[in-house]
């Protein structure tokens, strides 16, 4: 059984930052998220189009990187099924009571050691008066501040063994494998996974430094390519370091702009791509030679895009 | 059991036209579809982003309107499950061997009498040399001709009893109900249904004339609002009658432009809207007063949009 | 002598408002202007792309409407030439020493009584630290706040006698006449005038109520149609009354969204249109029947667009 | 006297190609121009927004490169004035009777030897039935084919001595100098010149190989950044070599995509930038260090962009 259908989506990601104040300003002013609440060293942030209370838990930490990825499942039964499968895989970590905005969560790690949580019970967002939308089918007022991010879109995790992580994601979690890269030596260099018709929600790419548990990037959705370009313009004048200027990916065909937030994590503003309506979609697997051809319009990939991750590796990424 | 998860998507729609040559030119030149094949009085047409051979079967007929809606299911088992449920509902119509591009299909009608088919086996599109894409994750070359429609997006069916059709779609077919309109007298005026995270794939709206089996419109997807505007510009200079100029819907928040194709059917070019990632999404139900407020930006709905359908009603719609 | 070449552009417009605080918030938050300075009951506002200190002088007054239009000329000699011509026309009003940001200005009125000023000497904008742009060919940081207006684009003045105002603008001021509307009775209903290749900078349209000196609207430029749509989205959620939802004009082919600011004045966010590179461009004159066909995509013009102006006319516009 | 105001705009450019058939298909299908007429080894091509009959004269020749640049002046008197100044500069070449679509023209060369013509009398475009626009203020039907180029926008000429060419353009022709690059050794590396408020119409950049009379590129205007991105998508699938993927320039702030047409010439699709309304605009002069920072979003300039031109230099550019 493929198990497809148990996962709803990535509910939120906990992001670690050694520069909590500056990272917060970045997400509020440049990405355009709203602060929903605070708890200890964490601030909970949300995009205007999100039905849950938040999608980013920004937590102060000595180093940047991933705190955890929390996936919401489709039902209580789906949660049970997945927990039992994770348990059997030997990667289970036990239950926690919940966190701000959601109920009991089951902790586990992927084969690379990235912390994950699975949960079902959640709180729907109730906007305060100043963020109440005009139309009821929109969870929050659209303010258009900064990049105007609508919602968290996907997470890209660096890992030592893409094949192992990809197999865990498909076989144990129930993700579908839509695109991939296989090098000439037969090793997998990347895997694009999704729980829905969206072309990717969870991505694994090979860690150039063979480190474990690192984060490649977190991506936020906007509805048009024009908004990605505009985000680039805002970043330039806000003095935010653009790592990879607005352009279009070959893999998954999405539009992007990548920046490094003040805490050191890579953040993408993205749109476009395609929907996978085919329930039997055969994964599109790219060769090493094809990857060499660069991005959609034939332009070269920025070198650091293949090497940098968080936490950075001392003497290499700094 | 909600049955959510059995349907993949609307595979194609058969559209009837009394002006086959002019309708064909419209879909090729103005909408930007490609002719994939022909059979008898039918021409099979496709958007550049579609994995199946076609999404529109354009068939000559005395009157414009809907031929049938063909829904692809996710698996052979899903097909069995749904057929048995339809059968039990008393609306089943028996099997056909298949048609160009797909295998055995089960025929049925919705409570309003619109013909539907369910099928699973399908043929993936193999582009001819002149339509071979540069990147393998794209089914066909992007030519940009006309509106450059990427794929069939949704169908809006007029019906006498929206509640009955909506209940059949959710309870028997397994659609989810994302948005709706309920009038002051308690009757349903519209229901927006989806088998995926897309905000709507099948829509039922009340037939102003209380007729049965009519079509409101067929919608094609483009990726940006700019492409909808550009489609409007192309339509103006191609002498195609724009019924509802480019604007944004309040319900489902999608961007649109509506035209009447030469055969008389209403066709939309659409983008935008939102994804429903919440597996327990409570349907957003609009009141009569809210509907009166018009579209997203407060602009009035064009009068014919509430009354015209195909086949047109003699003495009323002509 | 046509005198073309003496005028540079409309340097600023003084706008009157009975709701100074709310109007100011509108221009800052919704249109995205910056406050440059204050003087008495006036606040000086600027778009991010403007080389002068400001383009809007927002002044508290009992009623909304136009304070004055200030046109910058190309040189000291041009100023002399134009002043002498205005003088001879009998509409001259004498010199003032200048105002915030510019030097001596010559006052006059058009045949409808709208106050104008001509000036040459000006101060170039020096951004404060927090608005310093990254690139030196941009006068100010792009913040993207609200509609992100780049600059004042044009002014549309209501008048009793379009032909007289148009003739004064071309023959005395040196504007060029690019488009116009002439009704079946031979009267002019509108005139689109420009001092540059831009399709319009000063517009006269007939006052439906035969009043004098009223303002139809003030327009701000953004670079893309997508930004106009986005402005519409922001206006909806900011509770600003959209009078005419985003669409495209037939005359001058510009893209627009019109709102009523809290003080009552109509404000447009615009882009598009075309450049008039032809030095002998014959004015495109539309007939009454053509005007009846509505806007570019055939959509109807909102009724108030033909009647409302500021100051409003008691018992009619309220 | 600066002479500003005598030039209207670049009326057309003659482009040489050793691959006339393939170059023609490129301009028709990929750029979206229309063939207006033919004469001998030349085809005359036009964008849909142009008031003259054509803007590109595509001529078969042994090597790619520039045939000539033809500038239209604002009046017969302006033509006389400019011819007399060119004459005095010693660069005049005498009159020709005219060419398809325009009257008598005066030939001259710039200090680098690029052939130019000045003319005033011209024929306005009369569209054939199938290209008649719906609205009379548009010269031609918008078909949206390929990149949908609206009009020729600017020409970039490579030259040995930028300062000499720039001085000739401003002092003799009457262009204005809006932006420039001056290297650390004091030499000029580029000059952006305009006869209108458009940020550039004629550009001189230093020839890396110190050759003379070469062409850097020809640019066509579209109205939105989205259209440039879409052009990139079309080029990819049409197998056209994109040299510089869609992005944004730092100098002049324009949006671009550069391709090499089948004959070898570089062609740009462009939009954006800014208007220079300031009649006393001080040229923005960039330093060598600033140029090193790359394009608007900080991305690197493609290496060939600094070296390649037409005709190519044997052993270097091939």
Q: What is the pLDDT of residue C4?
A: 60
Across B292-296, average pLDDT: 94
| Chain D CB contacts of A241 below 8 Å | 298
Asked if A51 has any chain B CB less than 8 Å from its own CB, the reply is: yes
- Kindly state the average pLDDT of the residues B23-39: 98
CB C61 within 8 A of CB C17: yes
Residues of chain A neighbouring B135 (CB-CB closer than 8 A): 250, 253, 296
Question: Which band of pLDDT confidence, cut at 50, 70 and 90, is reported for residue B315?
Answer: confident
Mutate to test the interface with A, among B118, B133, B223 (most CBs of A within 10 A): B223
pLDDT in tens, B58-111: 999 999 999 999 999 999 999 999 999 999 999 999 999 999 999 999 999 999
Per-residue pLDDT tens over the stretch A170-220: 999 999 999 999 999 999 999 999 999 999 999 999 999 999 999 999 999
> Does any CB of chain D come closer than 8 Å to the CB of residue A248?
yes
Pairing of strands A242-248, A215-221: unpaired
pLDDT of amino acid D318: 55
Residues 171-230 of A with CB under 8 A from D: 224-226, 229
Residues of A with CB below 8 A from C143's CB?
234, 237
Strands (E), B89-182: 92-96, 105-109, 115-119, 151-159, 176-182
Mean pLDDT of the region A52-68: 98
Cβ of residue A234 closer than 8 Å to a chain C Cβ: yes
Testing the interface with B: which of A47, A79, A135, A277 to mutate, by most B Cβ within 10 A?
A277
Neighbours of chain C (3+ CB pairs under 8 A): A, B, D
- Asked if the model's pLDDT at residue C2 lies above 50, the reply is no
C266, C272, C275, C276 alpha-carbon torsion, rounded to 10°: -50
Residue C167 has pLDDT above 90, yes or no: yes
Q: Is the ipTM of this complex over 0.90?
A: yes
Share of chain D above pLDDT 70, in %: 98
> Which residues in D lie closer than 8 A to residue B143 (C-beta atoms)?
234, 237
For residue A166, CA distances in Å to A202, A203, A253, A280, B91 come to: 10, 9, 20, 17, 43
Q: Is B134 in CB contact (< 8 Å) with chain D?
A: yes
Mean pLDDT of C126-135: 97
Q: pLDDT, tens digit, for every residue of D42-86?
A: 999 999 999 999 999 999 999 999 999 999 999 999 999 999 999
Residues D228-262: pLDDT tens digits? 999 999 999 999 999 999 999 999 999 999 999 99
Instruction: Tell me what percent of the residues of chain C surpass a pLDDT of 90.
Output: 97
- From CA C227, how far away is CA C200, in angstroms rounded? 20
| B311 cis-preceded (ω within 30 degrees of 0) | yes
At residue D166, φ and ψ (nearest 5 deg) are -65, -45
Tens-digit pLDDT profile for residues B218-271: 999 999 999 999 999 999 999 999 999 999 999 999 999 999 999 999 999 999
- Per residue in D166-221, pLDDT (tens digit) is 999 999 999 999 999 999 999 999 999 999 999 999 999 999 999 999 999 999 99
Residue of A nearest to D244 (CA): A299
In Å, how far are A197, B115, B127, B174, B280 from B73, measured between CA atoms?
A: 14, 17, 24, 11, 22
pLDDT at C1: 36
pTM: 0.97
> In whole numbers, what is the pLDDT of chain A averaged over residues?
96
Measure in Å the smallest separation between the Cα of C297 and chain B Cα atoms: 6
Question: What φ, ψ does residue A298 adopt, rounded to 5°?
Answer: 85, 0
Give the side-chain half-sphere CA count within 13 A for A275.
19
Q: Which of A30, A105, A101, A112 is nearest to A66 (CA)?
A: A112
- Phi, psi at D84, each rounded to 5°: -70, -40
Q: Does B295 touch chain C (CB under 8 A)?
A: yes
- Please give the residue of chain B at the shortest CA–CA distance from D146: B144
* Mean pLDDT in residue range B1-5: 54
Q: Does the beta carbon of A74 lie under 8 angstroms from any beta carbon of chain B? A: yes
Interface test with B, best of D143, D232, D237 (most B CBs within 10 A): D237
A77 touches chain B (CB under 8 A): no
Question: Who among D272, D279, D296 is closest to C135 (CB)?
Answer: D296
A95 compared with D3, residue with greater pLDDT: A95
Q: Binning pLDDT at 50, 70 and 90, where does residue D315 land?
A: confident
Residue C147's nearest CA partner among D274, A228, A144 is A144
Residue in C closest to A233 by C-alpha: C142
* Chains A–C, number of C-beta pairs less than 8 Å apart: 45
The answer, for D146 touching chain B at a CB cutoff of 8 Å, is yes
Facing B277 at nearest CB: one of A8, A223, A274:
A8
Distance from the Cα of B111 to chain C's closest Cα (Å) equals 36
Nearest neighbour of A196 by CB, restricted to B135, B196, B274: B196
CB pairs under 8 A between C and D: 88
- D1 pLDDT higher than 50: no
Alpha-helical segments (H) within B158-221: 162-167
pLDDT at C314: 82
User: How large is the average pLDDT for residues B108-121?
Assistant: 98
CA distance D309 to chain B (A): 27
Number of CB pairs < 8 Å for A and B?
89
Bridge partners, B122 (sequence order)? B102
- pLDDT band at C232, cuts 50/70/90? very high
Residues of chain C positioned with their CB less than 8 A from the CB of A239: 134
For the stretch B200-233, pLDDT in tens is 999 999 999 999 999 999 999 999 999 999 999 9
Work out the burial of residue C88: count CB atoms within 10 Å of its CB; fewer than 13 is exposed, 13-18 middle, 19 or more buried.
exposed
Q: How far apart are CA D27 and CA C119, in angstroms?
A: 46
* Tens digits of residue pLDDT in A167-181: 999 999 999 999 999
What's the pLDDT band for B4 if we cut at 50, 70, 90?
low
- Closest B-chain CA to D132: B237
Q: Is the pLDDT of residue C318 over 60?
A: no
In the complex, which subunits touch B with 3 or more CB pairs below 8 angstroms? A, C, D
Local confidence band at A314 (pLDDT 50, 70, 90 cut-offs): confident
Partners of C313 in the beta sheet?
none
Chain A interface, mutation test: which of C230, C235, C269, C271, most A Cβ atoms within 10 Å?
C230
The whole-angstrom distance between A236's CA and the closest CA on chain D is 6
Secondary-structure percent of chain D, ordered helix, strand, coil, rounded to 5: 20, 40, 40
Say yes or no: D257 contacts chain A, CB-CB below 8 A. Answer: yes
Q: Is D239 on the interface with A (CB under 8 A)?
A: no
Give B145→chain D minimum CA distance, Å: 6
- Residues in A closer than 8 angstroms to C148, CB to CB, are 230
* Mean pLDDT, residues C222-230 taken together: 97
Give which of B260, B274, B297, B301 to mutate to test C binding, by max C Cβ within 10 Å: B297
- Whether C71 contacts C117, CB under 8 Å: yes
pLDDT tens digit string along C239-263? 999 999 999 999 999 999 999 999 9
Cβ of A296 within 8 Å of Cβ of D236? The answer is yes
Tell me how far apart the alpha carbons of residues C110 and C204 are, in angstroms, rounded to a whole number: 11
Query: Which of C225, C232, C296 is the closest to B226 by Cβ?
Result: C225
Q: What is the mean pLDDT of residues C84-89?
A: 97
| Per-residue pLDDT tens over the stretch C278-296 | 999 999 999 999 999 999 9
B226 to A224: CB separation less than 8 angstroms, yes or no: yes
Give the pLDDT score at A315: 74
Q: Which residues of A touch D298 (CB under 8 A)?
A: 236, 241-242, 245
Sign of CA dihedral B239, B311, B98, B177: positive
Contact B245 C247 (CB under 8 A): yes
In this predicted model, what pLDDT tens digit does every residue of D91-145 receive, in sequence order? 999 999 999 999 999 999 999 999 999 999 999 999 999 999 999 999 999 999 9
**pLDDT confidence of residue B70:** 98
CB contact under 8 A, D296 and A248: no
Q: Kindly report, residue by residue over C131-149, the tens digit of the pLDDT.
A: 999 999 999 999 999 999 9
Interface contact D248-A232, CB threshold 8 A: yes
b/e per residue, B94-128, with b = 16+ CB within 10 A? eeeeebbbbeebbbbbbbbebbbbbbbebeebebe
For residues A241 and A232, give the distance between their C-alpha atoms in angstroms, rounded to a whole number.
10
Does residue B55 sit at the C interface (CB-CB below 8 Å)?
no
pLDDT recorded at residue A317: 65
Of D49, D281, D284, the CB nearest to C274: D49
Strand (E) or helix (H) holding D210? none
pLDDT at residue C116 tops 90:
yes
């Amino acid at each position: 059984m493929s198990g497809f259908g148990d996962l709803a989506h990535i509910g939120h990601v906990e992001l670690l930052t050694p520069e909590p104040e500056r990272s917060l300003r970045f997400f509020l002013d440049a990405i355009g998220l709203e602060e929903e609440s605070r708890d200890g060293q964490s601030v909970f942030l949300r995009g205007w189009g999100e039905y849950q209370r938040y999608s980013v838990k920004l937590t102060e930490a000595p180093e940047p990187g991933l705190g955890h990825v929390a996936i919401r499942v489709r039902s209580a039964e789906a949660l049970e099924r997945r927990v039992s499968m994770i348990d059997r895989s030997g990667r289970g970590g036990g239950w926690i009571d919940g966190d701000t905005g959601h109920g009991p969560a089951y902790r586990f790690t992927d084969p690379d050691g990235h912390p994950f949580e699975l949960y079902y019970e959640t709180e729907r967002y109730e906007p305060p008066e100043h963020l109440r939308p005009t139309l009821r089918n929109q969870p929050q007022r659209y303010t258009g501040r900064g990049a105007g991010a609508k919602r968290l879109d996907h997470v890209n995790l660096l890992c030592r063994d893409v094949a192992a992580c990809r197999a865990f994601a498909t076989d144990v979690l129930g993700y579908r494998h839509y695109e991939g890269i296989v090098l000439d030596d037969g090793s997998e260099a990347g895997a694009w996974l999704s729980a829905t018709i969206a072309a990717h929600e969870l991505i694994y790419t090979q860690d150039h430094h063979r480190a474990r548990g690192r984060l490649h990037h977190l991506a936020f959705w906007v509805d048009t390519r024009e908004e990605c370009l505009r985000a680039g313009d805002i970043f330039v004048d806000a003095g935010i370091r653009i790592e990879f200027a607005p352009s279009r990916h070959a893999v998954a065909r999405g539009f992007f702009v990548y920046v490094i937030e003040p805490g050191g994590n890579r953040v993408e503003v993205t749109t476009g791509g395609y929907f996978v309506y085919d329930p039997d979609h055969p994964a599109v697997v790219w060769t090493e030679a094809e990857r060499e051809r660069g991005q959609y319009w034939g332009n070269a990939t920025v070198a650091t895009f293949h090497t940098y991750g968080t936490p950075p590796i001392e003497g290499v990424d700094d």
